[in-house]
Amino acid sequence: MTYWLNLFTVETWWEFKDAGGTLSGFSGRRWNTAQRLQPGDRLRPITGTGTG
């Protein structure tokens, strides 16, 4: 099992959750990374306040 990180801002995380979010996507430039996901892998959201 591999753990993957999915980056949200605090605001977008709550928007995702409030909308009933259960499925997260990848941008086209992350296609090669997305192809490495396997059944049983875990996607963990992380939030931050940004830099600066």
According to the model, what pLDDT value does residue 34 have? 86
Q: Tell which phi-psi region holds residue 40, choosing left (phi > 0), alpha (psi between -120 and 50) or beta.
A: left
pLDDT at 4 over 70: yes
pLDDT digits (tens, 9 = 90+) for 7-47: 888 888 889 999 998 888 788 898 898 899 899 998 888 87
pTM of the model: 0.56
| DSSP code for 17 | H
